[in-house]
Structure 1
Amino acid sequence: MPKILVAAIDFGTTYSGWAFSFKHDFESEPTKVTAKVWTGGQLVSSKGPTCALIKPDGTTLHSFGYDAETKYASLADTEEHKPWYFFSRFKMLLFDHEDGIHRDTKIKDSTDKELSALTVFSLSIKFLKEDMIETSSQRLLSGGLKKEDIDWVLTVPAIWDDAAKQFMREAAVKAGIDNDRLTIALEPEAASLFCRHLPIEKNTKGNSQSLAAFKAGTKYLVLDAGGGTVDITVHEVMANNKLKELHKASGGAWGGTKVDDAFRQFLIKLVGGPVMKKFQNKHMDDYLDIFRDFEIKKRDIGPSKADRVTFRLPSALSSTFKDHTGETLLDIIPQTSFSDQLSLTGDKLRVDIDLVKRFFKDPVDNITDHVENLLKEPTVTGCAAILMVGGFSDSPLLQQAIRSKFPRVKVIIPNEAGLAVLKGAVIYGHSPRMISERISKYTYGVNCCQDYREGHHPSQRKVKQKDGSFNVDHIFDIYVKSGQKIKVDDEVKNNYCVHEPDQDGMNILFYYTIDDSPSFTDDPGCKRLGQMHVDCPGHGKDRSAEVTMKFGLTEIEACTKVLHTGKITSTKLNFLG
């Protein structure tokens, strides 16, 4: 059934939002995309904070975004917050969870109470979904949208693994989004598409620069600097105006939240950890105000700024400090390691600009160092431009660092850098084949068994079978290699036979590694990725199945054909264990 509109959800570490466009609008003006405007206190933003407040029952969402922050602060004021669940910036769990992500993974809220991660993510996505439907329905004179009218796009970082992508898909399906109507988009790709459609953009020197004018063969690097992760990919414009990826996605946890963390650590050094914890618990509204104020201030901190930066310290923080230590903040500032860089007058803390700029140092250095190494790669040599998108790309300090480090490369920053991913995801939903070729991040393969061949297999690997023959287990049967070019529609096919005559099916186990030539699935660096089950009815060892894989899409797709029955089944891989 044809879609009426495409809706996208950008579920970010720090901020989240939704956007949509109707099909007829896309056909006439691809960048005509509607996005929600969020408000919280003095802040007006294009996305809202990724905060979820869940009722004490652990299953019902009370509010999301600024409303969740405000309500939780109100509950904390009257000591009523303890049975409630408040989650903030929880997306990074999917990037750096020590044990990997699973369906039953639990995450801790602000008071260390645990709840199912799948529940928290799905409730949040459900809010964004329903909020979008309510707004878009108001533009339809006939009134209302049906599920089959909407195609959904959910954005994820390109550096995420397949298990994290599957987790987000299952959370979205649990939130009520039809699985067949859902597409996963990679964040830097979405941003690249948006900027390719913009007629005019401005680079950091203020000169007009059109990414859409880039000719076939032009290479450019997409630097998607978000709140949690920095996601980098390299695209080349093709003759058909489509894009192909030149280098596998890379990046790290160097986003804007690292600046927030540095500011938080500065406050902890100033007042002490116990005071900060007590202040946060007792005066949540004031605690939130400090960081909302910092969010505004950090957007204006540029390389040419020379004045001290003034932060308002709530009286509740000063009184909490005095109650705990018996001293005043004014008394202890001379005793701190940065005494000559601070002054306190009333509730105004004035901080030297050099100290504030130091909050940005680690993430900015990590980003520029990584880009420098990337531009030296043979496939990336000759890159004409760096496209900066994502909320952290609005930072004048990061912009200046990129411009200074790479003076011979054009630096392009769209006016809506923070919305480029979200709006680009809508464009991707309308035209998902605009990215025609990608680079595999890993070597993917299947764990299989082969007949032992002397001189080909290590002798210590042979295992004697019941019939006296010898097999070799844990062979890494490679499908695609790390760094390999993959067209969107490329397929890889391999056949597998049952091991025993009485087997009624096969469990196919998938592995991955950054090594481009693994021999065995138990080699160092090889990790179990997922599995799928293939039914093989009948009896005897002559039964086999052909497994076809597609690696050129944003998610790995698979189908199986049981050769002795001809039955073909599209199979979903289970990357969540």
Structure 2
Amino acid sequence: MPERKPYDGTERKLVIAMDLGTTFSGVSYSILDPGRVPEIKGVTRFPSQEHVGGDAKIPTIIYYDQDGNVKAVGAEALKQNVVEDAEDDGWLRCSLFKLRLRPPSTTSDEITQEIPSLPDGMDVVAVFADFYAYLFECTKTFILDTHQNAASIWKSVEDSIEFVLSHPNGWEGSQQSKMREAAIDAGLIPNDDGGHSRVHFVTEGEASLHFCDEEGVVIVDAGGGTVDISAYSSVQSPNANSYAFEEISAPACNFTGSIYVTARAKVFLEEKLAGSRFADEVSLIAECFDTTTKLRFRDIEEASYIKFGTMKDRDPKLDIRSGQLKLAGSDVASFFEPSIASMIRVIDNQRAKATKPVSSVFLVGGFAASDWLFSKLKEHLEPLEIQCSRPDSHVNKAVADGALSFYLDHVVAARVSRYDYGISIYMTYDPYDADHYARRDTTFVDEAGVLSIPGQFAIILPKDTQVSETTEFRHTFYRNSIHLAKLQYIATVIRCYRGIKTDPLWMDEEPDAYSSFCTIEADTSEVARSLRLRRRPDGKSYFALSFDIVLLFGRTELRAQLSWKENGEEKRGPARVVYDRIL
């Protein structure tokens, strides 16, 4: 990556990056002092962390009692006394809850059945908030314990901390909105514009980019729940001494992470052990597979073993001897196969759509530790003259560190749109147009007295368009009303087209391919104040409002503005982006 520049701010600042992962989570931070080059540091001590290896990650697990109170989090939740207390007192173990926040378009039965229940009366935002609060307290403790003059440093920054929250490539504005809501509920930021602006978002694929410094690279961030795949190319930045990256293909997100390998193993074990005295031990055996056998598997020709019991546990007919269950290498490989095949399909698709050649693939994330996964990707890619590699250590820290790098270095200069974004419009009815005539039953007379037909999709941002942070996309809106008061405020729904057409037009042809992305709300009273009455063909009066909605898609979070002309001069005002709350 390019050499980091000294911090040019005038006041000390603390930036905390939280990677709340499906199975493991981590935190990195940087204390920015004016004139000094920022350093990225990881939180490497958490309570009871010796239970998970003492590195910079903890299990994404929370125990709640029956009243919804947090009882244990992270590595503490693996302690034997906690597990026993949970069983005795009926605590609820929450894991994999991150998957509950996924977009509705990614929902499937395979995903849903793997997610444990939440406590009664709690939604996923509340669980996110509890976990964010825990990560924050651990970070605060770590900083106070490891830095000189830590108390004065903390006091100088605690009211202005910036947070960078990572999320899968496939998550959209609605998920970001809920993550910000969780940060508010966790007490990380106040619920006002100033507080909201202190939360930043980065995709997990983009956060992993800080490992790379080459042109035409695909990042495969393989985690517990999701596999995020992104393609980038290095470009010269305006600063001649450094470079930046641009997306060369739309990022992808698949729910094919390592937990699904374990899920397939569990189904296999349930069938294999059905009717035996070991049938009740399937969950334990699957857990042992998850923590040992899955990670060690590397050769389809060799048998694998799951150590789960004692020397007395034996049943040769089931391949169980001395508390170990023997599995054929081909069976273990079959547990991996759907996930690996899915990754290869997406990588090939990214290569096909990329605007520049791809010369390397970089594998990061917790699942990257699997030698079998790595070897199968290399087996597919090397004949294509594509180098496949992975970091030699800290694969789980990639996202947390990379989220800080995203904030500090701003190395991504352009991104690629994943869908067609636009709005539903109506237009003047033309009886000589075959498409119009076929829909003549939907016509109506608008406020200006014109016979109109609804249901067309007007694209604002086409799919697979490369967008820089400053690129603006705009659409001119017209609002007519006989009542001026109805033009003081507007709310317009931005929609996504997720179908396969290259020029979608009539929304009734593929109604399921269109979904609401967000609503743009704006106060248009300043625009409306200068409107004058117009006359309809039937002699009635109405007001006509004309303005532009300006959208900036180039960052990881959508921004919007209102634009209008006044005496020939462009004026701008704020617009608010609102997402539906769907849990």
Shared fold (TM-score, shorter chain, > 0.5): yes
> Does residue 389 of structure 1 match 2:367?
no
List aligned pairs for 1:183-332, cutoff 5 A: 183-192=200-209, 194-196=210-212, 212=213, 214=214, 218-240=215-237, 241-272=243-274, 291=287, 294-303=290-299, 306=302, 308-313=304-309, 330=314
Match for residue 509 of structure 1 among 459, 469, 493? 493
List aligned pairs for 1:348-363, cutoff 5 A: 348-363=324-339
> Does residue 478 of structure 1 match 2:459?
yes
Cα distance between partner residues in 2 of 1:330 and 1:119: 45
Deviates more, 1:559-568 or 1:128-137: 559-568
SS of match in other structure, 2:379: helix
What is the aligned partner in structure 2 of residue 568 from structure 1? 573
Cα distance between partner residues in 1 of 2:52 and 2:450: 76
Cα distance between partner residues in 1 of 2:186 and 2:227: 27
Amino acid at match of 1:365: A
RMSD: 3.3
SS of match in other structure, 1:543: strand
What is the aligned partner in structure 1 of residue 32 from structure 2? 23
Cα distance between partner residues in 2 of 1:20 and 1:473: 51
Cα distance between partner residues in 2 of 1:98 and 1:486: 24
Q: Is contact 2:62–2:94 with CA below 8 Å preserved after alignment?
A: yes
Cα distance between partner residues in 1 of 2:360 and 2:65: 48
Unaligned runs of 5+ in 1: 197-211, 281-286, 319-328
List aligned pairs for 1:379-528, cutoff 5 A: 379-380=355-356, 382-407=357-382, 408-415=385-392, 416-431=394-409, 433-453=410-430, 458-459=436-437, 460-461=439-440, 462-465=443-446, 468-502=449-483, 503=486, 504-514=488-498, 515-524=501-510, 525-528=513-516
Q: Is contact 2:233–2:245 with CA below 8 Å preserved after alignment?
A: yes
What is the aligned partner in structure 2 of residue 154 from structure 1? 165
Amino acid at match of 1:424: G
Deviates more, 1:545-554 or 1:158-167: 158-167
1:88-109 deviations in Å (ceiling 9; x for gaps): 11111222657989xxx9x985
Deviates more, 1:3-12 or 1:223-232: 3-12
What is the aligned partner in structure 2 of residue 172 from structure 1? 183
Q: 1:33 to 1:543 in 2, by over 3 A?
A: same
What is the aligned partner in structure 2 of residue 375 from structure 1? 351
Deviates more, 1:405-414 or 1:237-246: 405-414
Q: Is contact 2:300–2:329 with CA below 8 Å preserved after alignment?
A: no
Shift of 1:419: 1.5
Shift of 1:421: 1.4
Fraction of identical pairs, as percent:
19
Shift of 1:402: 1.0
Matched pairs, number = 520
1:61-92 deviations in Å (ceiling 9; x for gaps): 222112234465223442x11xx332111111
Q: State the structure with bigger RCO (CA 8 A, min sep 6), 1 or 2.
A: 1
Q: Is contact 1:268–1:276 with CA below 8 Å preserved after alignment?
A: no
Q: 1:2 to 1:265 in 2, by over 3 A?
A: farther
Shift of 1:304: 7.7
Cα distance between partner residues in 1 of 2:106 and 2:222: 26
Normalising by the residue count of structure 1, what TM-score does the alignment of the two structures yield?
Answer: 0.81
Unaligned runs of 5+ in 2: 1-9, 190-195, 238-242, 532-541
Cα distance between partner residues in 1 of 2:119 and 2:266: 19
1:211-245 deviations in Å (ceiling 9; x for gaps): x3x3xxx2111111111111111101002210000
Deviates more, 1:14-23 or 1:234-243: 14-23
Amino acid at match of 2:23: T
1:99-141 deviations in Å (ceiling 9; x for gaps): 989xxx9x98558856222111111112112211221233151
Q: Is contact 1:544–1:564 with CA below 8 Å preserved after alignment?
A: no
Q: 1:4 to 1:367 in 2, by over 3 A?
A: same
Q: 1:475 to 1:276 in 2, by over 3 A?
A: farther
Q: 1:399 to 1:355 in 2, by over 3 A?
A: same
Cα distance between partner residues in 1 of 2:495 and 2:143: 42
SS of match in other structure, 2:93: strand
Normalising by the residue count of structure 2, what TM-score does the alignment of the two structures yield?
Answer: 0.80
SS of match in other structure, 2:573: strand
Cα distance between partner residues in 1 of 2:269 and 2:107: 32
Q: Is contact 1:108–1:115 with CA below 8 Å preserved after alignment?
A: no
Q: Is contact 1:3–1:148 with CA below 8 Å preserved after alignment?
A: no
Cα distance between partner residues in 2 of 1:277 and 1:114: 33
Q: 1:308 to 1:190 in 2, by over 3 A?
A: closer
Cα distance between partner residues in 2 of 1:98 and 1:487: 26
